[in-house]
Chain A
């Protein structure tokens, strides 16, 4: 068989495990990355001839570790004598290999690798860029494209981020349950940011950024495999799958945003929906609802409604109420108001969002829905004002165009 695409898939899928083990050995991101690169190069030569190894990750760790140790030795010869510690570690390569097959061990390795990318001193976009580079193995060029910046700017950003985390000193001992939960939460938040980075894009940029959503789903699934009984991780994965299922219907042929209630639901991806619904059910069995699970449950209600008018708004209102209690935020209240508008009309919804005006004064959607409800009530002058504010705050040309079409309809009685 001449098709060697399986090698690339195998390298990508082994990357998180191999990189995280190499990081544990060398405790230096650059050394680990270099060792992994070298192991990949050797795999590209060896695997087409010898066929795939039984455990690609273990193969890469073994080869990468040997290379890294040789390299360290070479370098230390030029500078100073290698420490006994570094050399003695060479002896237990076989032992290390066996250890890699132990799932309970490598899950903390992978979690650590992801967690390191989420260092609190790094701005969110840098955390995401670093995770894409280190864990997912996207090239700097691919990441730059997804973030719509130049390659050299992205290269700089990633180098700077790496330097910052090198100084951060994340402990390498196996974390206790509390620390593990804390790391999981931080990593989950980063994955959700990564997904939103891809999802909030629209129009001409949308196709460029969809890979970010897919990468986020891949990382979320990885976490579910490592920590199968964590309801919030199940919830997060379900949420991403359910939101992503609507991607084919979110934009029309002109690249304009199509609102949820106007989307052609036959275009929604059934396989993603079915999988998301199962994960929501699995998560909720634990009886430990959290913000991701509640948001996934809300997305599940939309996914279950065959037509927009079949949506169970009572349940959505109830779930947003629960989310407000767990994680109070003006944006959650704004979303709840959308359900309230469906249940009790625009006046009740406007009353609900009235106190949010100050805190959401820079939020596009606030003025978008406010304008729509005012229009429904016939308060056209106020509606126009709200729509003008929305246009000024629009993040993308598509958002602005969407509001403008509302404005146009205001002019035609």
Chain B
């Protein structure tokens, strides 16, 4: 079975971690990712940019594009896509094509250097 493990934390607190702590946490995560990859078990791994870089496409009679992250607690995370896009506009277009009657699609850029290709 393929499992997705989603990382949650308080962003402003994590932002305030001293550099050494932030680096230590990322190094630890990376070492686990590398081990899993060498075992052929890791299919995706990404560090997302801060929520300040997020854009949300919210379903409605006409879908609306909103600045900022998905902020509702009434809805649950049900799926994820990783898509290479030349621009935010392109990502918004693709997200809009996924819209159904309800729900929202949050678009969050992935930080370079923290992905499957970057692990050895």
Contacts and interface: CB of A to CB of B under 8 A. Distances in A.
Interface string B17-54: 11001000000000000000000000000000111110
11 contacts: A9-B16, A10-B10, A218-B15, A218-B16, A228-B52, A228-B67, A229-B66, A237-B52, A274-B112, A278-B88, A281-B89
Interface of B: 10, 12-18, 21, 49-53, 55, 65-68, 71, 87-89, 109, 111-113
A13 B13 CA distance: 5
A275 B52 CA distance: 9
B88 A5 contact: no
B52 A224 contact: yes
A113 interface: no
B51 A282 contact: no
Given A5-B17, A13-B12, 19 more contacts: A9-B14, A9-B17, A13-B10, A13-B13, A103-B71, A221-B50, A225-B52, A229-B67, A237-B52, A270-B113, A271-B112, A274-B49, A275-B52, A275-B53, A275-B109, A275-B111, A278-B53, A278-B109, A282-B53
A155 to B, nearest CB: 25
A270 B65 CA distance: 27
Contacts of A5: 17-18, 21
Interface string A214-243: 000010011011001100001001000000
A359 interface: no
A285 interface: yes
Interface of A: 5-6, 8-10, 12-13, 56, 103, 218, 221-222, 224-225, 228-229, 234, 237, 270-271, 274-275, 278-279, 281-282, 285
A183 B113 CA distance: 38
A89 to B, nearest CB: 28
A233 B87 CA distance: 21
A253 B87 CA distance: 37
Contacts of B66: 228-229
Contacts of A229: 66-68
Contacts of A224: 52
A229 B112 CA distance: 25
Contacts of A274: 49, 109, 111-112
Closest 10 CB pairs of A and B: A228-B68, A13-B12, A9-B16, A228-B67, A224-B52, A229-B67, A281-B88, A278-B53, A13-B13, A12-B16
A103 B67 CA distance: 15
A9 B112 CA distance: 25
Given A270-B112, A274-B109, A274-B112, A279 B52 contact: yes
Contacts of A218: 15-16
Nearest to B10: A13
Contacts of A12: 16
A100 to B, nearest CB: 15
A270 B113 CA distance: 9
A234 B14 CA distance: 21
Contacts of B71: 103
A278 B13 contact: no
Nearest to B92: A285
B13 A6 contact: yes
Contacts of B111: 271, 274-275
Nearest to A273: B112
A8 B112 CA distance: 29
Contacts of B112: 270-271, 274
A285 B112 CA distance: 23
